[in-house]
Chains A and B, each alone.
Chain A
Amino acid sequence: MKALTNRSKVAVNKELSFMERLYFPAIIKGMAITLSHLFKKKATLKYPEVQKEFAPVYRGKHVLKRDEKGAENCTACGLCAVACPAEAITMTAAERKKGEEGKYREEKYAAVYEINMLRCIFCGLCEEACPKEAIFLTDEIVKTSYDRQDFVYGKDKLVEDMNNRIDITKRQKKY
């Protein structure tokens, strides 16, 4: 079998030589190794102050996008709910009334849109299924809670805030 790395050594159960039985060369070698780690760069991040940047493909909490004018993209087609392998998404569709053009981009919209974050497996299939570029996974983290009901995220938590837009260009499909 070909070795995966060049670091593997063949184990032999031979008697230790006198120098090896003295232990001291090995001990000094080991101590030098640990001492060298004294001056190495630390792996720790001081968490609350310093946060590690997520990978561009990170899949966290969902966002329901609005367009540039602030109208919701979602048309409640239900493709995301169909695509969802965990069956975490439910929605109720409604028809757009006159005067609501600024709120919803197309004639149909989701009156209720809920994602159960305890069911969600953050696979990103909803995002892939969406024909309207309405739902995206962001690099935000779902907050913890003691109550299961708190994890059912409605539109109040999912729809994008116009004053605090979320950049999803990294996750947009490349056509």
Chain B
Amino acid sequence: MELIFKASLVVAIFVVTLLVALYSTFAERKISAVLQDRIGPNRAGPFGLLQPLADGVKMFMKEEIIPTTSSKWLFIFAPCLAMLTAGMSSAVMPWGGNLIIDGETYSLQVADINIGILYILGITSVGIYGIMIGGWASDNKYSLLGAIRASSQMISYELAMGLSVIAVVMMTGDLSINEIVKGQPGAHWNVFYQPLGFIIFLICAFAETNRAPFDLPECETELIGGYHTEYSSMKLGFFLFAEYINMFVSCALIAAVYFGGYNMPFINDFGWSPNTVTIVGTACFFLKIAFGIFFFMWVRWTLPRFRYDQLMRLGWQILIPLSIINVILTGLGIIVFK
């Protein structure tokens, strides 16, 4: 029974992740349109809701081109790796509390490993390899430049990201994401205790997912497509799709670490049964994620891209010192207040 539940949970989470990523592409187009006083896709199905399907079919029907000078296996391996790592990172996310079925308790988390945060940071750094290998295997200057930018950007922002998470870990005393979520019941969200850490984490999340204003690896105006210049058909689709999954996971991580995950203020005051509380909590979590995704897109269609030297300066000279100061301040705070 336990096994069946876990297996179905894995499948459900995988499907939900893919669906969210699928409709993120749609949402991106819609939101960008609306922010620019346009309407956006509205032809495929009601309100254009079948547009992701049409996009997918288009991607599959495109001609598959592998450059003759490329390293063929690496060229194929790169998008697979990008997709794989993107899909793996949602495994440790606590999607909700506990469900009680027939007197048995089931956790809405696939794997409650006690180093959840480390796991996610590790997986995202493996994700860089997808981009790096893809850009290098293409044997194209633009791809290579894009890959170099991507890897250097991700490595430099990972430091600040990890340091800002350390402040949260210091407060919770645990690396497990579930424990971090449990440590912020009601409205005691970490964002109110760690505003500086949150801002640093948010900026780094933008950089980690290669999204504007840090979309240097694929900036169309300078590098054509960046690391995926030479890619076509569904391999390109995988890269783009992996980016949206990464965005979803980042938003989930932000929601879990800084916005209380499945916690909702006053949720225990309604006298609901534990199962209802869990389901409402999960819905609440997804609401937070949805707002996060909207925020990501909102930022993308507002801010212009950073220049490469500005990006590096921001990462090394501003964010890392700030996050170290944040860690020190958190340490002082813990000594003073506890």
Question: Which residues of A does B touch, CB under 8 Å?
Answer: 27, 30-31, 33-35, 37-38, 40-44, 46
Contacts and interface: CB of A to CB of B under 8 A. Distances in A.
Q: A interface, by DSSP: helix, strand, loop or mixed?
A: helix
Contacts of A38: 34-35
Nearest to B36: A37
Interface of B: 34-39, 42, 298-299, 301-303
Nearest to B295: A31
A44 B39 contact: yes
Given A31-B299, A34-B301, A44 B34 contact: no
B74 to A, nearest CB: 38
A44 B38 contact: yes
Among B37, B38, B302, chain A packs the most CB atoms within 10 A around the CB of: B302
Given A33-B302, A44-B38, A44-B39, 6 more contacts: A31-B298, A34-B298, A34-B302, A37-B36, A42-B39, A43-B37
A58 B42 CA distance: 30
A42 B37 contact: yes
20 contacts: A27-B302, A27-B303, A30-B302, A31-B299, A31-B302, A34-B298, A34-B301, A34-B302, A37-B34, A37-B35, A37-B36, A37-B37, A38-B34, A38-B35, A41-B37, A42-B34, A42-B39, A44-B37, A44-B38, A46-B39
A8 to B, nearest CB: 21
Contacts of B298: 31, 34-35
Contacts of B38: 42-44
B32 to A, nearest CB: 10
A33 B35 CA distance: 9
Nearest to A32: B302
Contacts of A37: 34-37
A43 B303 CA distance: 22
Nearest to B301: A34
B90 to A, nearest CB: 28
Contacts of A31: 298-299, 302
Nearest to B42: A46
Contacts of A27: 302-303
A38 B303 CA distance: 16
A46 B298 CA distance: 24
B183 to A, nearest CB: 28
Contacts of A46: 39, 42
A24 to B, nearest CB: 8
Nearest to B199: A24
Contacts of B37: 37, 40-44
